[in-house]
């Protein structure tokens, strides 16, 4: 890259490479956001280098294998054979890239505050290898101001300047793992840039990859979009979780009410209750905004109330299970054996991040219950900071003898791969937190909705 090349000429040359699909794209973090993005970009004809600190992931991808159920091994193998996708843990190779996209985790600390350590460490790892003429995009969910106040100072440590030497943008990920209706390329991308040139570059890149781009006025506006989307879901799920409690006391089936309400063609959008929130976004993102809002002296009462309601749902499932054991099975909780069906946070994927099933297992065991689990996609509970004691537990088989040996089955995840008719026949008591039995026309006295 010519060091004397003016920013306008630099931007034009980068856009030309984006338009020709000759630009090399680096995707850092090959998880549930990064890997689908890397595959999508590579399918569009771009050469893609995927980066991850997990050597196992790197080795599997380079061997043409997939570690995600919704991304087929054939797809990875095909991209490897064409030479459009490679993986590495060597961050010096970001120097080869024309665009660097960061897709790293943004969890919470034990104090429920934003944990940007992955973002900071990744930015510090790539900074020594940056060169003039690169677009850098953060896709990780975070609070407004992160890109400008956290990333930009790190990226400028060696004298490179944002908007002159490199170009900084933010584009929130919108992945929905396991949703075949909306692939990465079919979902519009919101884009905000640190200046007009950064915005123009980011739009030029994503225009070649997704159905359309939605430019906004700033980095902060783009960061706020993602929080707004997930807080919207959190608040509405909290509402139906509370309605479930109210209607249950009245003898009304909230699921029936929602199905009838959604026939209204305007002014209503269906949300569904459940055992608690899971996944990396909805249980976490609202706390990023509430934390940042305190800096401005603003109290986010509505958002925090929704969080309290959703966080309390696993306890409600456990209370309902204990009541059902006593009332239906005539069984005390202490010494009872319960099978938890599904530990993934949503159906048809193997992702267990923030799964409410883990909290339900822990609460049941505190009541003296012996708990096992079955999940057709999760053979072993992975290590996690929040549920370290559960790591290594293995899924039991779903046979008649095994199911019948438990006093009750609690359905936490409604995977399609499960035969619920047989489950209902085999289990002496079923606690259904997802309404899957009713959806399949299964109505028995020993099926309890929770």
**Which tokens hold the place of 299?**
């109290």
Closest to 84 (Cα-Cα) out of 53, 44, 135, 31: 44
* Residues composing the chain: 450
**Which tokens hold the place of 6?**
């003016």
Residue 82, number of CB atoms within 10 A of its CB: 12
Which stretches within 284-399 are classed as H helix? 285-295, 301-311, 313-327, 356-366
435 three-class SS: coil
Contacts of 435 (CB under 8 A, 6+ apart): 255, 272, 449
Task: Specify the DSSP class assigned to residue 149.
Answer: I
Residue 246, number of CB atoms within 10 A of its CB: 10
- How far from 91 is each of 33, 88, 135, 293, 318, CA to CA, in Å? 19, 8, 16, 34, 46
- How far from 351 is each of 33, 67, 183, 330, 348, CA to CA, in Å? 12, 11, 17, 35, 9
**Which tokens hold the place of 26?**
């680096």
- The sheet carrying 447-449 orders its strands as 370-374, 337-341, 408-411, 430-432, 447-449
Closest to 35 (Cα-Cα) out of 104, 95, 118, 82: 104
Q: What is the CA radius of gyration of the chain?
A: 24
Q: Which residues pair with 191 in a beta bridge?
A: 215
Contacts of 301 (CB under 8 A, 6+ apart): none
Distance of alpha carbon 371 from its chain centroid, rounded?
26
Of the residues 39, 103, 203, 281, which is catalytic? 281
Q: Are 378 and 352 in contact (CB under 8 A)?
A: yes
Our answer to whether residue 281 is catalytic in this structure is: yes
Q: Hey, which residues are catalytic here?
A: 281
């Amino acid at each position: 890259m010519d060091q004397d090349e003016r920013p306008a000429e630099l931007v034009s040359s980068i856009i030309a490479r984006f338009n020709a699909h000759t630009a090399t794209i680096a995707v850092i973090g090959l998880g549930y956001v990064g890997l689908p993005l890397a595959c999508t970009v590579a399918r569009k004809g771009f050469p893609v280098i995927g980066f991850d600190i997990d050597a196992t992931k790197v080795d599997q991808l380079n061997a043409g294998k997939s570690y995600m159920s919704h991304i087929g091994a054939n797809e990875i193998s095909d991209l490897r054979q064409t030479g459009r996708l490679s993986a590495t843990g060597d961050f010096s190779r970001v120097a080869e890239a024309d665009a660097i996209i960061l897709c790293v985790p943004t969890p919470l600390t034990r104090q429920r505050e934003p944990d940007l350590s992955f973002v900071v460490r990744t930015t510090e790892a790539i900074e020594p290898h940056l060169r003039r003429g690169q677009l850098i995009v953060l896709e990780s969910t975070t609070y407004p101001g992160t890109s400008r106040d956290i990333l930009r100072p790190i990226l400028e440590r060696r004298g490179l300047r944002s908007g002159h030497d490199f170009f900084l943008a933010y584009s929130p990920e919108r992945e929905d793992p396991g949703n075949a209706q909306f692939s990465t390329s079919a979902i519009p991308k919101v884009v905000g840039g640190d200046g007009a040139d950064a915005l123009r570059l980011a739009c030029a890149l994503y225009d070649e990859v997704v159905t359309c781009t939605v430019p906004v006025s700033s980095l902060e506006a783009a960061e706020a979009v993602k929080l707004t989307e997930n807080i919207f879901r959190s608040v509405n799920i909290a509402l139906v979780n509370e309605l479930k409690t109210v209607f249950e006391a009245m003898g009304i089936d909230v699921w029936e009410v929602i199905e009838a309400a959604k026939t209204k063609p305007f002014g209503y959008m269906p949300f569904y209750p459940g055992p608690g929130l899971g996944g990396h976004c909805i249980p976490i993102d609202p706390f990023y905004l509430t934390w940042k809002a305190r800096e401005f002296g603003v109290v986010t009462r509505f958002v925090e109330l929704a969080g309290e309601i959703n966080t309390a749902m696993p306890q409600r499932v456990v209370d309902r299970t204990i009541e059902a054991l006593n009332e239906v099975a005539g069984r005390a909780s202490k010494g009872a054996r319960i099978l938890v069906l599904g530990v993934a946070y949503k159906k048809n994927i193997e992702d267990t991040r923030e799964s409410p099933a883990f909290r339900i297992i822990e609460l049941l065991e505190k009541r003296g219950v012996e708990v096992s689990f079955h999940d057709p996609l999760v053979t072993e509970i992975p290590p996690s900071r929040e549920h370290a004691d559960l790591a290594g537990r293995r899924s039991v088989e779903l046979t008649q003898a095994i199911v019948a040996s438990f006093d009750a089955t609690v359905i936490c995840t409604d995977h399609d791969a499960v035969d619920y008719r047989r489950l209902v026949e085999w289990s002496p008591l079923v606690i259904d937190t997802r309404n899957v039995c009713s959806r399949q026309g299964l109505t028995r006295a020993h099926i309890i909705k929770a």
